[in-house]
Amino acid sequence: MEVGDPRELAEMRSGAVLESDPQGIETRPRPKIHPRIEKRRTEVERFRSHTRRRAIWVFLAFVIGIAGVLGVLESPLFAVENVSVVGAVHTTRSQILRASGLGAKPALAFINIARMETKLDALAWVRSASITRRWPSGVVVNIVERTPVAQAQISSRTWVVMDRYGRVLAMYRRDPGLITIRGAYRVGPPGSTVGRNARAALQVATEVPTSLAGRIVAVEVGAGGSVQLLLSGSTTAILGHGTDVRSKLASLQAVLAALGTRHAAVGVMTIDVSIPSAPTVSGS
């Protein structure tokens, strides 16, 4: 388009501005923006910029607030200061504090209760443990301990006691006075568990009624898991494998009651109650 072209003059009068590329080729005219529209666009951009800045400041204030709260919770003000232990008899307070980590006075808000309970459950006497927070700086530790049911003599002056599940609870330098189990099994340190054979004998020891316990010298278990009772008066009661234990013990009691005091004069005697409904007695 040449200068002075009528079309160019008409477009210049209408307010349109011609645009061209670097090669001089004409493009579509860029319309002139009305001042009111330009003002509105500026206001919108200013509002958006203000909103973004405000969102950033709100986020920073939130982060700073959370950091402040965490800092307060981790401060000595909310550290564990008071630990109440309930239910522990054989487990000492120092063992509980050391195993759980509560002795280090951690921040109450961030203690891992599940992990602490698992570590407490590993203590020899502990059957189960539960921990409860008591704000602002207290913890209650509830301990349920295991019940000893039998003992084993592992040397001339050393005994261990076990619960019904074969957990070794403690070692003693004197006879604890429980039912003694003997046989082919290994005993580890407190907190360990004896083998399956010993657990068969422990099941029997658990079910022995009080009226019979005083007559039992020992519960013996063989390599195959067969159990027999050594009774006072040179009497042996064969129970077989650790099934239907209550019925077998009831059958044994009935046989002993029927014999009365006569079995003491018989000498060595064997009572077989491995089939509780058909007990047999033999002796010399």
Residue 54, SS3 per DSSP: helix
pLDDT of residue 194: 92
**Greater model confidence, 184 or 161:** 161
By percentage, how much of the chain surpasses pLDDT 70?
Answer: 77
DSSP state of 273: -
The distance from CA 37 to its chain's CA centroid, rounded to whole angstroms, is 68
Q: Which residues contact 257 (CB under 8 A, 6 or more apart)?
A: none
User: What are the pLDDT digits (tens) for 49-62?
Assistant: 778 777 777 776 66
Residues in the chain: 284
Torsions phi, psi of 225, nearest 5? 95, 5
Query: Among the listed ranges 194-198, 221-225, 259-263, 279-283, which one has the minimum average pLDDT value?
Result: 259-263
Note the pTM of the prediction, 2 decimals: 0.69
User: What are the pLDDT digits (tens) for 109-144?
Assistant: 889 999 999 999 999 999 999 999 998 889 999 999
User: What are the pLDDT digits (tens) for 168-227?
Assistant: 999 999 999 999 999 878 889 999 999 888 888 999 999 999 989 999 999 999 877 889
pLDDT of residue 30: 61
